[in-house]
Amino acid sequence: MYSQNINDALNYTDNSYQGTARFNSMSGAFGALGGDLSSIAVNPAGSAILSKGYFSISFGTDNKSGQANLISSSNNFDKSNFTLNQIGGVINFENLDDDNKWKKISVGISYNQSKNNFNEYSVFNVTNNNSIDSYFLNNADGLRLDQISAFENESITDAYVDIGNVYGYGHQQAFLGYESFIIDPVEFNDNNSYYYSNVPAGTFNQSYSSISRGYNGKLSFNLGFQYDSNLYFGVNLNSHFIDYDNYTILNETNNNGDTGQFRVNGIYFENRLSTFGEGFSAQFGMIAKASNVLRFGFTYDTPTWYTISEETSQYLETSIIDEEDNISLLVTNPNAINIYEDYTLKLPSKISASTALVFKNFGLFSFDYSRRDYSSIKFKPQNDIHFSNLNQEITQRLEDVNTYRFGTEILADRLSFRAGYMIEDSPYNSSNVSEFENIDDSTNGFSLGFGYKLNDTVIDLSFVKINSSNYKRLYDTGLTNQINIDSDNTTVTISVSTIF
């Protein structure tokens, strides 16, 4: 019994790494460079570039600001939090046999935050012709009344849990709509499968809020090798985790209907989702020095296999006006947590190619390109009807994503000055989007930073600003208006690194 959607697939796939300040200030364009702890996350051969042991730790502040837009209403948001972006170290073992072309082995471990899930946005006083009642009606459509109602003397909690265990999430939504008087059956008998709404048609005043917390991260166990003086190889075994908690609130009121009519004129609906995931992937990388100036890099990321567990909880209030125009408040609180069976998520592989120009004692220019086929995302078990339909939707609506990263660094004695730029395609296939639906825009951002080297210690500071615009359906069915989140994600990171 599952409730995942295409937004979950995209949320888990995002890999906007926050690493060392040097890495961030060059927009992560390190595939052909190496020599940085966070570079290992994009090309495992990067550890072998280091000539000595290396340790670094990075902290940052992450600010998300922008505007949430729904129909004709908009509201600004601005939230910040403190993060641990990166920590790790590498130890090098030189080959003392000068005749052996395998010159060095490096062993490292590195953690990088791959996504900060902290976010809050709201829209208020939205005038909409569509009510949340359509969500409950659509879920109830075609279901028998005895499958979405409580037995005699059965509590709301027991009925909600039993219906979920036997029939699934959609039946639970229909149950909530029925128990709260948002919907009623056309006929009050067990065989009934047709329903109508007690919410009068017209216009509705709505407010919607979403609050998210948590992090996605990646822990890499690295082996790097130097062959001769110009070839570097590496492999990462990666442990991934997802920690995501999302809480949404919809509040709806209306002045529709006639005096003396039984009707619902207010709905307050809460939903909470908690997601925990553990995953595994591997990476294989190579860096080649074609000359003293020119370098090339290549990386293959295997698919990432996640095992994910989810919990949901819900709460519903309705304001009811009876035939005598008396107003009452009905609370439908299941007071229960749905704990779902673990499921498997396969995220797509990725290929990356990089090049760099390195000018000793002056600076460098670097470029990274990567490609990932989002249409190959798979939820399993695939014999589950919900996952089968979701995988088909993903195949049709998503496509290859290209990411481009540019970085530069200028050296001035002990100081380093850096800048970068990145752009990433939208994951949506525009040819399979209806005329009534918007899609995610591409993501782009720029970065700046500098570093100061003091003997064997380096202090780096970076500023990164990434703009993104995406669209999210309020609900999967019924009330499917899209909320547009146009946001700027600004991250300031400070790193302390030690060479030993």
* Per-residue pLDDT, 428: 87
* Per-residue pLDDT, 441: 65
The residues spanned by each domain of the chain are 6-131+199-398+455-499
* Per-residue pLDDT, 354: 98
The rounded distance, in Å, linking the Cα atoms of 281 and 118 is 25
- Mean pLDDT across 79-103: 94
CA-to-CA dists, residue 237 to 224, 233, 354, angstroms:
12, 14, 21
* Per-residue pLDDT, 383: 83
Instruction: Note the Cα 11 to chain centre separation in Å.
Output: 2
The rounded distance, in Å, linking the Cα atoms of 334 and 157 is 4
- Mean pLDDT across 69-92: 95
* Per-residue pLDDT, 183: 98
Contact between 333 and 316 (Cβ < 8 Å):
yes
Contact between 400 and 376 (Cβ < 8 Å):
no
Q: Which stretches does DSSP call E strand in 178-303?
A: 183-185, 195-197, 204-227, 231-253, 263-289, 294-301
The rounded distance, in Å, linking the Cα atoms of 500 and 89 is 10
* Per-residue pLDDT, 436: 45
Condensed to tens digits (0 to 9), the pLDDT of residues 323-361 reads: 999 999 999 999 999 999 999 999 999 999 999 999 998
Contact between 92 and 51 (Cβ < 8 Å):
yes
pLDDT band at 372 (very low <50, low <70, confident <90, very high): very high
- In terms of phi and psi (left: phi > 0; alpha: psi -120 to 50; beta: otherwise), the region of 494 is beta
* Per-residue pLDDT, 13: 81
* Per-residue pLDDT, 2: 59
Which residue would you say has higher pLDDT here, 49 or 5?
49
Contact between 432 and 393 (Cβ < 8 Å):
no
208 three-class SS: strand
CA angle 316, 319, 320 (to 5 degrees): 120
Condensed to tens digits (0 to 9), the pLDDT of residues 26-54 reads: 999 999 999 999 999 999 999 999 999 99
Hey, what are 245's tokens? Answer: 């908690």
The rounded distance, in Å, linking the Cα atoms of 469 and 489 is 11
* Per-residue pLDDT, 382: 81
Q: How large is the greatest C-alpha to C-alpha distance in the chain, in angstroms? A: 98
* Per-residue pLDDT, 433: 60
* Per-residue pLDDT, 440: 60
* Per-residue pLDDT, 153: 94
CA-to-CA dists, residue 242 to 207, 274, 452, 472, angstroms:
29, 10, 34, 20
The rounded distance, in Å, linking the Cα atoms of 263 and 37 is 62
- Mean pLDDT across 382-388: 86
The label of the residue with tokens 């720029």 reads: 446
pLDDT band at 7 (very low <50, low <70, confident <90, very high): confident
Give me the amino acid identity at 317.
E
Cis check: omega of the bond before 381, within 30 degrees of 0: yes
- Mean pLDDT across 300-314: 97
Contact between 368 and 46 (Cβ < 8 Å):
no
- Mean pLDDT across 238-243: 96
Q: What is the pTM of this model?
A: 0.89
The rounded distance, in Å, linking the Cα atoms of 374 and 432 is 14
pLDDT of residue 77 exceeding 50: yes
> Helix/strand/coil (H, E, C) string of 7-47?
HHHHHHHCCCCECCHHHHHCCCCCCCCCCCCHHHHCCHHHH
314: closest CA among 340, 337, 342? 337
Contact between 173 and 135 (Cβ < 8 Å):
yes
Condensed to tens digits (0 to 9), the pLDDT of residues 134-180 reads: 999 999 999 999 999 999 999 999 999 999 999 999 999 999 999 99
291: closest CA among 188, 375, 360, 208? 360
Condensed to tens digits (0 to 9), the pLDDT of residues 413-452 reads: 999 999 999 999 989 887 766 544 556 667 899 999 999 9
Give per-residue burial for 456-477: e unless 16+ CB within 10 Å, then b.
eebebbbbbebbbbbbbebbbe
pLDDT of residue 81 exceeding 90: yes
Q: What is the DSSP letter of 48?
A: G
DSSP class per residue in 283-345: EEEEEEESSSSEEEEEEEEPPEEEEEEEEEEEEEEEEEE-TT--EEEEEE-----EEPPPEEE
Fold of 6-131+199-398+455-499: Porin (2.40.160)
The rounded distance, in Å, linking the Cα atoms of 48 and 345 is 32
* Per-residue pLDDT, 435: 45
> CB-based burial of residue 338 (10 Å sphere; 0-12 exposed, 13-18 middle, 19+ buried)?
buried
105 three-class SS: strand
Q: Which residues contact 435 (CB under 8 A, 6 or more apart)?
A: none
Q: Which residues contact 94 (CB under 8 A, 6 or more apart)?
A: 103, 104
The label of the residue with tokens 């409950």 reads: 136
Contact between 199 and 189 (Cβ < 8 Å):
no
Across the chain, mean pLDDT equals 94
* Per-residue pLDDT, 18: 82
